[in-house]
Structure 1
Amino acid sequence: MTDLYDDAAALPRLLRGGLAAHDIRALRGAGISRSAAAWARSKGRLGRPFHATYLSGPGAADLLDRLRAALLALPPDAVFAGQTAALLYGFGVIATNDVHVAVPAGTAVPQRRGVVAHECALPFDDVCEVFGVPCLAPARCAVDLARCLPRGDALAVFDAALRAGACSADELAAEVGRHGRLRGVRQARELVSLATPLSECRQESHLRLVFHDGGLPRPRPQLAVVDEWGVERCRLDLGYEQSRVGAEYDGRSHVERWRLRHDRERHNWLEMRGWRMRYFTDHDLYQRPDRIVSVMRTTLHHPGARPHRWV
């Protein structure tokens, strides 16, 4: 799973898709039997990402190679969707080892290990070609995922899609409207109004949702803090500028010695300028979110805090 949204957005630029895809019929037409294909596989001259589909050429297969091979085993009206299409669009922040495709309702799909087919009630009137393979449009992929994922991950998908520039907030809202009363659309409709391109990672999105569910004022993600000369000195994961209260998620990188030194200097600089910082870990975020809400509410309503305008 990719937690950093900028890493997810960078993935499509790394795809090369330099291998040639073949199905077993093409190999037979070239005079290569199954036993010969098996021998070539054992020597590393052929890859077999799915049953009866093969890849040949120099180098290791990437996602695009696997998708081109998968198309050989799928019906002609199948398109990539969900987590798989999100990877190609640059907001693939939900882990999956499978290839996800969408097919019209009632379509017979060959069973392939590693391929998950989703029957769709909505028509396929928004198919895009991405790197030469067919995908549902980015807004539709994001809403489809948001309807079925846990709320925190659903918001993360929306945030990552906006940050990658795969679609706009208006396009997401319009797409939610197209889904009518399909399962999970109420969740998608609620979360699309909270989505922002400012969040940088999945945990920031989850933390912001904890604030929302706890009835806290809406914070600004990646709030820039400037010094007395107007020069930006740092950014806070979540912040309330009027109250001078900030919240940060402490992940694994924060325990590294150089990062810890930087964080302490940053904390002292903020504290000397009247900021009150609160830090939360994965244990707080996923095991005791109520404590996060309690700490932030107490901090915001402390007698020394500046009043915050609720939005």
Structure 2
Amino acid sequence: MPFDPQLPFTWRQARDEGIPQRALEGTQYRRLVSGIYVAAAPPGKDGARSRSAIAYIEARAALLVAGPHAFLSHHTAARLYGAIVPDVPVLHASVAPGRRRSRHREVVVHQSRRSPATFRGLRITTPEEVFLDLATHLSLVDLVVLGDSLVKRERTTPERLVTEMQQATGHGIHPARRAAALVRTGVDSPMETRCRLLRVLSGLPELETDVRFYGDRDELLKRLDAGDRPTRTAVEYDGRQHIERKDQWEADIGRRETFENEKWRIVTLVSKDIYVTPGLTVERLAHIFRQRGIHVGPLRDEWQRHFPGRPTAAEAKSA
């Protein structure tokens, strides 16, 4: 294959192509991991690489280090599929048992009996195998975020995840089965997942996910993150991006007024409600649900292990 600096290449390949070390260390190239480089993205906003392109480049770098028999797995495979996983400082690949494993401090090479699939021309574990492999690396919430994002990218379905986890065995199967049962269709963001899991783990009603309203010609008119149609009660997450763009802000105002005219009660959650004061959020939602006629059973405290919260500035001063 002809040398292409837009794809990852080794230090030796650079030397063979006459690229000096000082050039590799300059602005023309980017170091991916030790000994592996790629041409830098063109300057300027328009020249920045997309998240998908970065995932592909990092995936090729992992395979370049791991060797010709390797395949992508774990976090690196998840990112190539376009799914959401926490940032980690290393890339991941796997090889079959008995194959030589590369020792590289920035590329972890696992042993795996998986039969790899192919995606974007690269050998990789299936989305369901990625989900199972990461069950021992991620928290329950992050694992459900992964599952929801795999479904959003149409790499799998909630039903397929549940079926695959029920049939699978081995390390991590119990958290994987529980997380698979909590994966849903129609989730737009990780924060929507976190809002839903705060309700579920506290014993509050889950509500219908991705509530959609269609017109006479089956055209989508509007949607809500989660809601209860009989009582016209909804819970939505509102991120910072919604107020940074004027057109989005104005559209949200008009949309909210439409729902209010139809007697909907929309409870809006922001980052602080999930990360800083989740306990108050549970109490607030329970109160509003009861007011609106939604049955709320006994609350549970499991949410505290997954949403520990942080003290507010006032609480920190009084502690």
Q: Pick the TM interval, shorter chain.
A: 0.7 to 0.9
Alignment partner of 1:82 is 2:74: yes
Show CA shifts across 1:200-232 (max 9, x none). Answer: 000001111111112122311221246899975
Kept after mapping to 2: 8 A contact 1:45/1:56: yes
SS across alignment from 2:65: coil
Report the counterpart of residue 60 of structure 2 in structure 1: 68
- Tell me the equivalent position of 2:312: none
Q: Which amino acid aligns with 1:159?
A: D
Question: 1:74-132 CA distances to partner (integer Å, 9 max, x unpaired)?
Answer: 23332111221122222244334532112345655333343123344xx122x012222
Letter in 2 for 1:291: L
Any idea what SS the aligned residue of 2:20 has?
helix
Whether the 8 Å CA contact 1:243–1:306 is kept in 2: the answer is yes
1:186 — aligned with what? 174
Q: Are residue 19 (structure 1) and residue 6 (structure 2) matched?
A: yes
Letter in 2 for 1:83: H
- Tell me the equivalent position of 1:149: 138
1:117 to 89, 109, 116: 109
Question: How far did 1:234 drift?
Answer: 2.4
d(CA) in 2 for partners of 1:245 and 1:162? 25
Alignment of 1:287-302 (within 5 A): 287-302=276-291
Q: CA deviation at 1:27?
A: 5.7
Q: Distance in 2 between matches of 1:245 and 1:231?
A: 23
Gaps of 5+ in 2: 43-47, 298-319
Q: Which position in structure 1 is the counterpart of 2:24?
A: 41
Residue 172, structure 1, aligned to residue 164, structure 2: no
Cα separation, partners in 2 of 1:227 and 1:216, compared to 1, 3 Å: farther
- The one-letter code of the counterpart of 1:77 is H
Q: Which amino acid is the alignment partner of residue 153 of structure 2?
A: A
Deviates more, 1:85-94 or 1:57-66: 57-66
Helix, strand or coil: the match of 1:73? helix
Structure 1 pair 174–76 and aligned structure 2 pair: CA distance change class (3 A)? farther
* Structure 1 residue 136: Cα displacement: 0.8
5+ residue gaps, structure 1, are 1-16
Amino acid at match of 2:145: A
Q: How far, CA to CA, are the matches of 2:219 and 2:13 in structure 1?
A: 63
> 1:107–1:277: structure 2 CA closer, same or farther, 3 Å change rule?
same
**CA distance 1:201–1:54, change in 2 (3 Å):** closer
Equivalent position amino acid for 2:268 in 1 = Y
CA distance in 2, matches of 1:259, 1:48: 38
Contact 1:163 1:196 in 2 (8 A): no
Contact 2:71 2:123 in 1 (8 A): yes
Alpha-carbon offset, residue 253 of structure 1 = 2.1
1:217 counterpart = 2:239: no
Q: Distance in 1 between matches of 2:293 and 2:74?
A: 44
3-state secondary structure, aligned to 2:77: helix
Q: How does 1:133-282 map to 2 (within 5 A)?
A: 133-183=122-172, 185-225=173-213, 233-256=221-244, 257-282=246-271
Q: Secondary structure at the residue paired with 1:141?
A: helix
User: In the aligned structure 2, how far is the partner of 1:261 from the partner of 1:25?
Assistant: 55
User: 1:106 and 1:161 mapped to 2: Cα distance?
Assistant: 31
Task: State the TM-score, normalized to the length of structure 1.
Answer: 0.76
Does the CA contact (< 8 Å) of 1:53 and 1:70 recur in 2? no
SS at 2:86 equivalent: coil
* Matching residue of 1:99: 91
Contact persistence 1:80–1:135 (CA under 8 A): yes
Residue 270 to residue 226, structure 1, CA distance change in 2 (3 Å): farther
* Alpha-carbon distance in 2 for matches of 1:31, 1:195: 48
Q: How many residues align?
A: 284
For residues 47 and 230 of structure 1, the distance between their equivalents in structure 2, rounded to whole angstroms, comes to: 49
Give the Cα–Cα distance (whole angstroms) in 2 for the partners of residues 301 and 23 of structure 1. Answer: 62
CA distance in 2, matches of 1:42, 1:141: 34
- Partners of 2:67 and 2:183 in 1: CA distance: 35
Provide the C-alpha distance between the structure 2 equivalents of 1:230 and 1:89, rounded to a whole number of angstroms: 31
CA contact (8 A) 1:159 1:197 kept: yes
What is the CA distance between 1:194 and its match in structure 2? Answer: 1.8
